[in-house]
Chain A
Amino acid sequence: MDAFQWLYSDIVKDHFTNPRNVYDTDRDKDFRPDAEGMVGNIKCGDQMMFMLKIENDLITDVRWKTYGCASAIASTSMLSETIKGMSIRDAYHIKPADIADRLGGLPENKIHCSVLGDKALRAAIDVYLERKGRAGEFSGEDAQIICKCLNISDKDIEEAVRQGARDWYTLQEATKIGTVCGSCKTKAEELLHEFVHIYS
């Protein structure tokens, strides 16, 4: 992309200025979601909410709201288009990188902003599964092992943060991560930082 052009691709620009499926307080008064999920924190500068209508494990309609930057708005708009008609299992496993690709790329330092929509979507699906008595059905399916010594995955780190871990010490207390060879510390701390941003 030409550095003198807009910071973002034309697709990002389009989804930023004309976002799809945004919840409209007037038009969507009667939108009754089957599940909602909210992640992020205004203190960190962004927050995201997803509302899903689900029939037979298929996402039939979606609305979302955000307090966030252009990157968060555009990627969530693209995500909301992508998941319409998709099974909740496939939607659960969409990767932020796939959305960034569909947007024609995002600047390196804005990738973390686009993760929020994906997390809010998962939170909403988790709520749905819990309501149906199927809690945790998809989690762990695409887990990536971070600590090879103790077989601790990114999902375990995420869960520890959701349960209150906020720094390396409290994460170790919760998971014992990095207590054998310690070589996973850099990667684990990156994930910790990301999850704390999303869940605190």
Chain B
Amino acid sequence: MDYNATTPLRPEVRDLMVKSLDIYGNASSMHELGRKARAEIEGARANVAALIGTKDPSTVYFTSGGSESNNTVFNTMFLRGRNQTRHKIITTAIEHPCVLNAAAHLRDEGFPVVFLPVDRDGRIDMDAYRAELGPDVLLVSVMAANNEIGTIEDVGEIARLAKAQGAFVHTDATQAVGKIPVSVEDWNVDYLTLSCHKIYGPKGIGALYVRRKTPIEPLIRGGHQENGVRAGTYNNLGIIGFGEAARLAQEELSEYRQQVGSLRAMLRDLILERIPMVRINGPAAEVLPNTLNVSFPGAEGESILLSLDLEGIEVSTGSACASGSLDPSHVLMAIGLGPELAHGSIRFSLGKYTTEDDVRYVADRLPPIIARLRKMSTIPLEQLAQGIG
């Protein structure tokens, strides 16, 4: 139950990759071997383009993954915004660390950077957003869906407001793609980041969508691959796997949402029924169909995680103890949870291979684990209820 961290390679993708092992040609070569690789890559590009709602595959650039895509956008803004009056960056407090750190780097370089606050459910504060918008804004970067609590942001409206001020709009859709409908046309964004290993494809491959006539600067300079936007010999196998994973994700999207969404509801209801004093983090609606974040006050997150691990259940936690720092999850702190609730939080992220039996198994194993940890806790039981709600 840790599909937001990564997903297994699905058999259909694996089979195609194995069959393609001998497609070793350099897609930049003019001879037949090269042209064969090129054809496969362009087919994959068309599939990825379709998955994110564009008919123009030439707007899709392959990268090594989400982090590279995000950094390419922020690097472009750095080069474009230097010594300009339009150089303000607006992002949010709940982005993935790769956006947070890329934005913090621009701030260190003298760019004004705003990390927008979010409400109790993780939706960005639109009043604060409107107040920050102006003719000096260069980029607005807001994630399409949050990886920890599953909140879906109103990217379309965010982009509309930004465009009215002439700003560029980027969305990190790494967690949204394959889970909810994603469309660069409906949202009218300039840049969109996606990653292959979150949609049952291989690791080490991702993509960046760049709207036509929108500036983009290479992070990796070299040959003329990807129209000079991303140098480096094509990762044939990764791209072929990505194309197949994208095709299947699009084909199965509505089935996935229905199936995973009902398992999430089942897990949520069983936890609420069987364990007293819990808090569901994230919104009730407009949430990823697979992501369920729960706080168990009185039980420390890493202890819960490792207890579940011993039962063969994989989850993640917002506890500081699991991160190596003393700070709990920045997302849970941003939605206003007290440290007690943040340290005792567990993220269950379901996927296409999760079954009803899996959900029942988790719902059976979890209550005694929470009860055991709460019993040895220094926090008196009557205090546990505080802050839930």
Contact = CB atoms under 8 A, between A and B. Distances in A.
Interface of A: 6-8, 13, 16-17, 19, 22-25, 38, 40, 42-49, 65-73, 109-110, 113, 197
B298 interface: yes
23 contacts: A6-B310, A7-B306, A13-B310, A19-B376, A24-B375, A25-B375, A42-B339, A43-B339, A43-B340, A44-B320, A45-B320, A45-B321, A45-B328, A45-B343, A46-B321, A48-B378, A65-B377, A66-B376, A66-B377, A67-B298, A67-B377, A69-B300, A71-B321
Nearest to B375: A25
Nearest to B377: A67
A40 B321 CA distance: 13
A69 B310 contact: no
Interface string B289-305: 00000000010101100
Interface in B358-387: 375-379
Interface of B: 298, 300, 302-303, 306-307, 309-310, 319-322, 324, 326, 328, 339-340, 343, 375-379
B321 A113 contact: yes
B306 A16 contact: yes
Nearest to B374: A67
A17 B307 CA distance: 8
A42 B343 contact: yes
Contact of A23 (B309, B322, B376): B376
A17 B306 CA distance: 10
* Secondary structure of the A contact surface, majority rule: mixed
Contacts of B321: 45-46, 68-69, 71-72, 110, 113
Contacts of A25: 375
Contacts of A46: 300, 321
A1 B200 CA distance: 31
Contact of A65 (B310, B319, B328, B376): B376
A132 B321 CA distance: 37
A45 B319 contact: yes
A6 B312 CA distance: 12
Contact of A70 (B298, B303, B324, B340): B303
A176 to B, nearest CB: 27
Nearest to B381: A25
Contact of B319 (A24, A66, A69, A109): A69
Given A43-B340, A45-B326, A72-B321, 10 more contacts: A6-B310, A17-B307, A25-B375, A42-B339, A42-B340, A45-B339, A45-B343, A47-B378, A70-B306, A113-B321
Contacts of A73: 303, 376
Contacts of B300: 45-46, 67-69
A17 to B, nearest CB: 7
B310 A38 contact: no
A68 B303 CA distance: 7
Of listed A38, A45, A70, A71, residue having the most chain B CB within 10 A: A45
A69 B320 CA distance: 10
A12 to B, nearest CB: 10
A73 B321 CA distance: 12
